[in-house]
């Protein structure tokens, strides 16, 4: 890549983790526990947490008895996650658009809206083709994404959050394809500005993408308690897909 993309710079700063410090392990434990009960992936199976951040979901998967690899593009996130490493829980820096050589998994988890960061459908396809290749023949993919329809319909244009004595000024917009979040704050004696951009992918968009690379959607849910998905009202779009 000739220049850094937005997620390479923002996700690798300490301020990203400050702004989103409310994401706790209890939420991850509840969600993963519900998923594991539903999926029935045998204990001891190899699973991948794709775009794992600091590893809260990876750690929870490990406590449920899986051999877990967590990967993320952020060097700083992987450095923090690596404190939890052991024989059955590993972390490494990795671009989700590429294969991890010589690795196969029973389940691949892509959680907390860690998809759709790119400009092009081609990059989305690269991610899914890599996932398809890395899954075992009867492997399962879980994508946990925002419910883009609800997010767009209820978009908060301006917001101020104060976290650890830092005032984050946040503005949002939707351009018809992407949801943008602009983050401005002062820290360490200077003004800082970052941007998040996520494709507003709906269920039908995921259906087309997944089917085109050889997946079949088997179930959709609308929240971490795995209640049915409703496009107008659900907080999340959680997709369970199987490799054909």
Whether residue 45 is predicted with pLDDT greater than 50 in this model: the reply is yes
Say if 1 falls within a structural domain: no
Structure tokens at 40: 């029935």
Q: pLDDT tens for residues 6-43? A: 777 888 888 988 898 776 678 888 999 999 999 999 99
- 112 and 60, same structural domain? yes
3-state secondary structure of 96: coil
pLDDT tier, 111 (very low <50, low <70, confident <90, very high otherwise): very high
- 79 and 114, same structural domain? yes
Q: pLDDT tens for residues 58-93? A: 999 999 999 999 999 989 889 999 999 999 999 999
Q: What is the dihedral of CA 63, 69, 73, 75, to 10 degrees?
A: 70
Which pLDDT score, from 0 to 100, does residue 4 have?
A: 59
Which pLDDT score, from 0 to 100, does residue 24 have?
A: 64
Residue listed under structure tokens 């970052």: 194
- 47 and 158, same structural domain? no
- 112 and 28, same structural domain? yes
Q: Which residues contact 131 (CB under 8 A, 6 or more apart)?
A: 50, 108, 110, 141
Average pLDDT across the chain, whole number: 93
Helix intervals (H) in 40-185: 56-63, 75-81, 121-134, 148-153
pLDDT tier, 2 (very low <50, low <70, confident <90, very high otherwise): very low
Domain boundaries, position 225: 6-147+201-243
Could you tell me if 13 and 32 are in contact, meaning their C-beta atoms sit under 8 angstroms apart? Answer: no
- 232 and 213, same structural domain? yes
Q: What is the pTM of this model?
A: 0.93
Q: Which helix (H) or strand (E) holds 67?
A: strand 67-72
Structure tokens at 125: 């396809």
- Region 176-198 average pLDDT: 95
Burial class of residue 11, CB neighbours in 10 A (0-12, 13-18, 19+): buried
Query: In this structure, what CATH number is given to the domain that contains residue 26?
Result: 3.40.50.150
CA–CA gap between residue 151 and residue 196 (Å, rounded)? 14
Which pLDDT score, from 0 to 100, does residue 121 have?
A: 83
Whether residue 1 is predicted with pLDDT greater than 90 in this model: the reply is no
Say if 70 falls within a structural domain: yes
Which pLDDT score, from 0 to 100, does residue 118 have?
A: 83
* Structural domain ending residue among the three candidates 159, 179, 196: 196
């Amino acid at each position: 890549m000739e220049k850094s993309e937005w997620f390479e710079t923002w996700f690798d700063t300490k301020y990203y983790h400050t702004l989103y410090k409310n994401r706790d392990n209890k939420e991850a434990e509840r969600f993963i526990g519900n998923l594991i009960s539903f999926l029935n992936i045998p204990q001891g199976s190899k699973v991948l947490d794709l775009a794992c951040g600091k590893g809260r979901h990876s750690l929870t998967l490990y406590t449920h008895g899986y051999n877990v690899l967590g990967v993320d593009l952020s060097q700083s996130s992987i450095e923090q996650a690596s404190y939890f490493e052991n024989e059955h829980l590993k972390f490494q820096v990795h671009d989700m658009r590429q294969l991890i050589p010589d690795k196969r998994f029973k389940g691949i988890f892509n959680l907390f809206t860690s998809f759709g960061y790119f400009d092009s459908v081609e990059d989305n396809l690269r991610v899914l083709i890599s996932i398809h290749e890395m899954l075992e023949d009867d492997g399962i993919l879980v994508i946990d994404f925002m419910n883009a329809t609800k997010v767009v319909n209820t978009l908060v244009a301006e917001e101020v959050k104060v976290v650890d004595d830092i005032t984050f000024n946040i503005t949002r917009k939707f351009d018809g394809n992407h949801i943008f979040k602009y983050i401005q704050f002062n820290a360490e004696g200077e003004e800082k500005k970052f941007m998040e951009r996520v494709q507003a992918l709906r269920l039908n968009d995921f259906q087309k993408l997944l089917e085109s690379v050889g997946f079949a959607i088997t179930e959709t849910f609308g929240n971490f308690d795995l209640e049915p998905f409703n496009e107008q009202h659900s907080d999340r779009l959680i997709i369970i897909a199987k490799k054909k």
